[in-house]
Amino acid sequence: MQQEYIMYKGYPLVRSGNCIYYGYMSDPFVTQLQILHNTKQGQLDVADKIKVYQISTDEKLNPVEAIVQSSVRTSLYDALDLANAWLERAGKKE
């Protein structure tokens, strides 16, 4: 059974708790967006502090060595925009 994913700018988004994984595991890099803090806006929780990691998918690396770069953003849109830029840049290096 083929699973459908939410796509953003050509890459899949998968959420697990407060972490969102963005990118294809078959590519050299994926990104992880870790929601660190939420604020209430009406009845909705809105992420206002997100840590973005670019992670190598090389299984030979331990998890700490796999992190290539990281940054903090104050909106989910900004975090996804940065994650997309990192994935696009990494794809052009191949």
Q: What is the pTM of this model?
A: 0.86
CB 53: neighbour CB atoms within 10 A? Answer: 20
Q: Mean per-residue pLDDT for 74-83?
A: 95
Closest listed residue to residue 25, CA positions, set 56, 51, 63: 56
- The domain segmentation of the chain, as residue ranges, is 12-93
Q: What is the mean pLDDT of the chain?
A: 91
Q: Mean per-residue pLDDT for 70-91?
A: 94
Instruction: Write down the pLDDT at residue 93.
Output: 62
Buried/exposed code over 56-67 (b: 16+ C-beta within 10 A; e: otherwise) = eeeeeeeeeebe
Tens of pLDDT, residues 49-60: 999 999 999 999
Instruction: Write down the pLDDT at residue 51.
Output: 97
